[in-house]
Homo-oligomer: A and B are copies of this chain.
Amino acid sequence: MNYPGGIKKQTKQDINYAKRGQSLEADLNLTNSYYQHQGLALIYKKPTPIQVINVTSNQQKSPLITKACFKTPSTTDYNGLYRGRYLDFEAKETRNKQSFPLSNIHEHQLKHLNAVIKHGGLSFIIIRWCYYQETYLLESKTLFKYIKQSKKQSLPYTFFKTNGYLIKEQYQPRLDYLKIIDLFIKEEKK
């Protein structure tokens, strides 16, 4: 069972994967923190939306939430600012070998990514293929073109290899995806 915002019930599979490396979310948080401290960009993961139902208050201590539930996020998980540009993206991991099911991204999140393009921002998805230990960045416009033309609800791994951008994993920053954004900005200026 997957909880919203990347909180997962740990399974045997997760533990095995944990040995191989960190989660995509952890890698992106490290990367964004590096970008921020180096004065390169301001990109943050939004907090998981939670509906607070009950709070106990104690004058001496901070309030404690005793009852709450997860809400469906209304936008993507990440957004921010880089070289004067608005960035917006969703990040997901898949253990599949053949294809990434689009059902892993909420419909209103896809709508949001599309709206970002219309308003002049840069929007994309970052997908980690755990089996191949590869992480790809795919522009939203490429994604929507594919959905429109193929009428399919899943993206083949080969589609990422051909149309996406492989993000190099390294020590620091862990996933240097802004190098790919530089290419997009350069392309726009042509």
Residues of A within 8 A of B (CB): 1, 3, 7, 9, 36, 39, 41-42, 44, 46-50, 52, 55, 57, 59, 62-71, 73-75, 79-86, 88, 112, 115-116, 118-121
Q: Are B75 and A70 in contact (CB under 8 A)?
A: no
Our pick among B7, B39, B50, B82 for the contact of A48 (Cβ within 8 Å) is B50
Nearest CB to that of A65 among chain B residues? B68
Nearest CB to that of A3 among chain B residues? B63
Q: Which residues of B contact A48 (CB under 8 A)?
A: 47, 50, 52
Our pick among B57, B59, B84, B115 for the contact of A42 (Cβ within 8 Å) is B115
Q: How many copies does the complex hold?
A: 2
Given the known inter-chain contacts A3-B63, A55-B3, A120-B83, please indicate yes or no for A50 contacting B74, CB distance below 8 A: no
Q: Are B119 and A57 in contact (CB under 8 A)?
A: no
Q: Are A63 and B70 in contact (CB under 8 A)?
A: yes
Q: Which residues of B contact A118 (CB under 8 A)?
A: 39
Q: Are A9 and B49 in contact (CB under 8 A)?
A: no
Report how far A180 CA is from B59 CA in the complex, Å. 41
Q: Are A69 and B63 in contact (CB under 8 A)?
A: yes
Report how far A112 CA is from B47 CA in the complex, Å. 16
Q: Which residues of B contact A120 (CB under 8 A)?
A: 81, 83-85
Our pick among B50, B57, B112 for the contact of A50 (Cβ within 8 Å) is B50
